[in-house]
Amino acid sequence: MTYMKRIAVIASGRGSNFQAVVDRVSDGYIPGTCVRLITDNPNAYAIERARNAGIPVSVVDFSSFPGKKEYEGALLATMEESGADLFILAGYMRILGQEIVHRYSGRMMNIHPALLPSFSGLHAQRQALDYGAKVAGCTVHFVDEGMDTGPIIIQRCVPVRADDDEERLSTRILQEEHGALPEAVKLFCEDRLMIDGRTVCVLPP
């Protein structure tokens, strides 16, 4: 029997990318199992999505710790306890410390609403509009110590239209995110991703 990879998602907000992964696990596209939602926000809508799907939730509330070191110690313990093979940052609004990044090197991916390395950090869609970019999109990448700097797994493009505002562009990018992230997770679960320096190679089935 083939081993099914265990997936945990770390999210801070509404969790639409979390839902996209859950749906593609449920329909068999992703050959894995979603074992945990971890959130730093006790009011995140992602919690309701997890409960609706029967997925255990761990709330590690940042505001209940005296500082980042104590918070990340608890977060790391929760991650370890989940036993996940892959951790997905899906709308997680904090930068992870080096200990966690090193511990899960090659086993943690992030989804970002821009074509990296352009427009890293917050409000990437607004950055693209302000810069006058003609093409925007999303990037799924492995997580390293930098902000949105890890090796790129998948990118999807979205044309920027003349009448776009931040909300309209964000909505179209999000549609692409909901396809790109499950595809990257599927490839990971099939052991088809190999990191070679800055390049992520996709191996044949």
Q: What is the pLDDT of residue 1?
A: 57
> What's the CATH number where 15 sits?
3.40.50.170
Residues 202 and 50 sit within 8 Å (Cβ to Cβ): no
**Residue 136 lies inside a defined structural domain of this protein:** yes
Domain count, the chain: 1
For residue 56, cis peptide bond before it (omega within 30 degrees of 0): no
- Domain of 115? 5-192
**Residue 102 lies inside a defined structural domain of this protein:** yes
Nearest Cα to 153, choosing from 189, 114, 110?
A: 110
Residues 92 and 10 sit within 8 Å (Cβ to Cβ): yes
Nearest Cα to 151, choosing from 185, 106, 90?
A: 106
**Residue 201 lies inside a defined structural domain of this protein:** no
**Residue 205 lies inside a defined structural domain of this protein:** no
Q: What is the largest CA-CA distance in the chain?
A: 52
Average pLDDT over residues 190-194: 98
**Residue 202 lies inside a defined structural domain of this protein:** no
With left for phi above 0 and alpha for psi between -120 and 50, is residue 44 left, alpha or beta?
A: beta
DSSP string, 95-116: PPPHHHHHHTTTSEEEEESS-T
Strand-pair category, 86-89 with 108-112: parallel
Catalytic residue among 102, 112, 123, 141: 112
Known catalytic residue: 141?
no
Q: What is the pLDDT of residues 99-143, one digit of tens each?
A: 999 999 999 999 999 999 999 999 999 999 999 999 999 999 999
**Residue 162 lies inside a defined structural domain of this protein:** yes
Nearest Cα to 180, choosing from 200, 157, 203?
A: 157
Please name the amino acid found at residue 152: I
**Residue 203 lies inside a defined structural domain of this protein:** no
Q: What is the pLDDT of residues 53-78, one digit of tens each?
A: 999 999 999 999 999 999 999 999 99
Radius of gyration in angstroms for the set of CA atoms belonging to the chain, rounded to a whole number? 17
pLDDT > 70? residue 162: yes
